[in-house]
Homo-oligomer: A and B are copies of this chain.
Amino acid sequence: MVEKHDIVIVGCGAGGATAAQFAKKTDRKAQVTIFESSPFPQYSKCGIPYAISGEIPKIMDLIEFSEEWFKKARIDLFLNTTVTDINSEKKIITAKKKDGSIIKKQYNALILATGANPSLPPIKNVYKDNSKKLKNNIFTVRTIPDAKKISASAESGRKATIVGAGLIGLEMADNLHKKGLKVTIVEALPAILANILDDDMSKPILETIKESVSVHMNTFATEIKTDKDGKINTVAINKKDEDDQQEIPTDLLIIAAGIKPETSLAEQAGCKIGSTKAIQVNEQSRTSKKDIYAVGDCTEYVDFVTGLPIPIGLGSIAVRQGIAAGVNAAGGTYNLPKGVLQTATSEFFSIEIGSVGPSLQTRNDIETVTAKYKGLSKPEYFPGGKPITMKAIVDLKTGNVIGAQAVGENAAQRVNTYATAILSELHIDTFKKLETAYAPPIAPTLDVVTLVADVASLKWHRKK
């Protein structure tokens, strides 16, 4: 006899919706209920910059699974409904609907997919008077309402300033630039994409970006200046360790300075919060609290290579955690790999990038050997080959492949090959001999994937 699974999911983002879907796949009789505080069923947060430029024609196209879809899948979805309390002893959640009415619901398994909130750096005068609401024309990039407001603001505004040169900051810069706005990027760190690429890989990208937009590195946005009607006028910026303040004329300001995991419900339920201030989960997406799972941006898991805790900020990982939580909550067994590979990609200003493995900051305590190679996507004699630069990262002690970064043609798929090598804990001497697919219009006899591995192997043998 199979026990009936009564599964409650808090949050209908990518992680929560995937968990619901896989719970149902695992046990068709499971009762699955999702509570979502916004009015929207599952949509793509990552697609927002492209819906603002119009590359995705309509903002509502971002919705991946409609209310109708959840109905057909026999998943109970409550929109506009905020979970306010978890009683983890009695296994009851309390939720409040928009009309003020209260729902109480028992669960066998609870899946927290509460996401994250934008981090806001200390910029003076960003909030409306006496509130925690951002002034008009100051935005973060996280929700469909954000998308709608930025879109409207970009129609009338001509000058945009973006705080933060991570993935979302650069994606927004590119998409606003495509829309014809004059864009300025302000980044506090000395490098763009610091969590994704090493400095030597990101520097040439920065040079390319500067051809299209203004970029201020090592610079803080310090204050919003408004005109006498309270309308945003300029952003004051300060270069690090310099006194001079500069003012950037700005019609709209985008803050893309990272996220803070939303953990208040988890804390209340007694789930352990880790060193990255996110909910600790294991390879089954279980929290420290029995029968409570967590997935996506509200969680931390460990890095595959270093074993160190990593805040989860990627939709691709949220989906995989969702699979694990859904299957396990419904009585199946699904173990994720021993850590996350952090495989990532994006494209901006016509540059594709890819990355896998721990970032420079988090691999600090591993001695590594790195190699870089600039190649072409096709044999030299074949017209139209496009440049690719790849970096391979090897653990000095073991000789295993632990990371790769790529800038250029098919960076994402090339990095996926390295992701497979890392997942397999493959030695660089084995990987460099990988027989890659070759045909003149497609790829050279030795793909840059293996050419960079070959250099890394040589350097490893010299240094080990």
Contact = CB atoms under 8 A, between A and B. Distances in A.
A337 B435 CA distance: 9
Contacts of A50: 382, 440-441
Interface string A324-357: 0000000000001100111111110000101110
A205 interface: no
A419 B436 contact: yes
A366 to B, nearest CB: 19
A439 interface: yes
A103 interface: no
Interface string A308-334: 000000111101100000000000000
A435 B44 contact: no
A416 B440 contact: no
A267 interface: no
A55 B379 CA distance: 13
B383 A442 contact: no
A155 interface: no
Interface string A429-464: 011011111111111011101000000000000000
A62 to B, nearest CB: 6
A102 interface: no
Contacts of A421: 420, 424
A434 B416 contact: yes
Q: How many copies does the complex hold?
A: 2
Given A317-B435, A433-B320, A437-B412, A345 B442 contact: yes
Given A346-B439, A381-B47, A417-B417, A319 B423 contact: no
Contacts of A47: 379, 381-382, 440
A356 B437 contact: yes
Contact of A61 (B46, B346, B381, B430): B381
Contacts of A414: 413, 416
Interface of A: 14, 44, 46-47, 50, 55-57, 61-64, 167, 314-317, 319-320, 336-337, 340-347, 352, 354-356, 379-383, 410, 412-417, 419-421, 423-424, 426, 430-431, 433-443, 445-447, 449
25 contacts: A46-B439, A46-B440, A47-B379, A47-B381, A50-B382, A63-B381, A64-B379, A314-B438, A315-B445, A316-B438, A319-B445, A320-B435, A337-B433, A342-B435, A343-B438, A345-B437, A345-B442, A346-B441, A354-B437, A413-B417, A416-B436, A417-B420, A420-B431, A423-B426, A424-B426
Given A316-B436, A342-B435, A352-B442, 18 more contacts: A14-B445, A44-B379, A44-B440, A50-B441, A55-B382, A341-B434, A345-B438, A345-B442, A346-B441, A347-B442, A355-B437, A356-B435, A413-B416, A416-B434, A416-B449, A419-B435, A421-B424, A424-B426
